[in-house]
Structure 1
Amino acid sequence: MTPCVGGLVYDVHGRLLLVRRANEPGRGRWSVPGGRVEAGEDDAAAVVREMREETGLHVTPGRLIGRVVRGPYGIADYACTVVGGALRAGDDALDARWCSAADLAALPLVDGLVETLDAWGALPR
């Protein structure tokens, strides 16, 4: 199983930060920003790097929200706090934006995202 991380970030309005994936799996669909943990990295370092690369934001990772397995990927999703940067779509993202609960209903999302967020009590407002 390939270890991966994701970052859950909310703005002051309770909207969740999502990226539109540029690569498989889930190319063209919206998901939580994140990716593979590289050799020599711990989860915290991977979350910081992936968030910066995909969204332009500098974050401080917090508590583990939950874990999920998607195919060959074991993903650990962490609560994150933005400490700098400016939102922009980065290297593995076609787009990045803050999403409300209504947005989630209208966007093409990666499989299982809403159900997983709901189970974790992590849906946006």
Structure 2
Amino acid sequence: MHDPNGRLLLVRRANEPGRGLWSVPGGRVEPGEDEPTAVVRELAEETGLTVRPGELAGVVVRGPYRIADYRCDLAPGSAVHPRAGDDAADARFVDLAGYAELPVVDGLTELLREWDALPRV
């Protein structure tokens, strides 16, 4: 998810795998949920933001996990400043220079580049 300025929303993982590294927010689809519903719930839990999921950005398989990432927009009336919660130790929007300084999970940069989802500024 990008903010109106083109910065990318990232969270610093509080738990394994990837504890201490930065990644896009996400998590498991709970029983009875579809993927868009899980996206809304996970972003609210990890960042405090309310989003509207859009098109599928891409899918990657890591071990036994199928990870689907969706492009999202802030929902009307949502907070605009992320706050870390749940499985996140920190949450923030980052520009391209800030992204380059962060330790990110393996393969994230390549996937974001492939999906045209790196910070735009």
TM-score, length-scaled by structure 2: 0.93
SS in 1 for 2:106: coil
Displacement, 1:119? 0.8
Partner of 1:92: 87
Displacement, 1:116? 0.4
Partner of 2:118: 123
36, 53, 59: which one aligns with 1:61: 53
Unaligned segments of structure 1, at least 5 residues? 1-8
After superposition, the CA RMSD in angstroms is 0.9
Displacement, 1:66? 0.4
Identity %: 67
Deviates more, 1:110-119 or 1:77-86: 77-86
SS in 2 for 1:35: coil
Unaligned segments of structure 2, at least 5 residues? none
How many residues are paired up?
117
The code of the aligned residue for 1:111 comes to D
Runs of 4+ aligned residues of structure 1 deviating over 4 Å after TM superposition are none
Q: Distance in 2 between matches of 1:105 and 1:114?
A: 9
Partner of 2:21: 29
100, 104, 119: which one aligns with 1:105: 100
Q: Distance in 1 between matches of 2:64 and 2:101?
A: 28
14, 35, 38: which one aligns with 1:46: 38
Partner of 1:14: 6
Q: Distance in 2 between matches of 1:99 and 1:69?
A: 25
Displacement, 1:71? 2.1
**1:69-111: CA deviations, max 9, x gaps?**
1222110000111111352101100000011111221101000
The code of the aligned residue for 1:95 comes to D
Partner of 1:82: 74
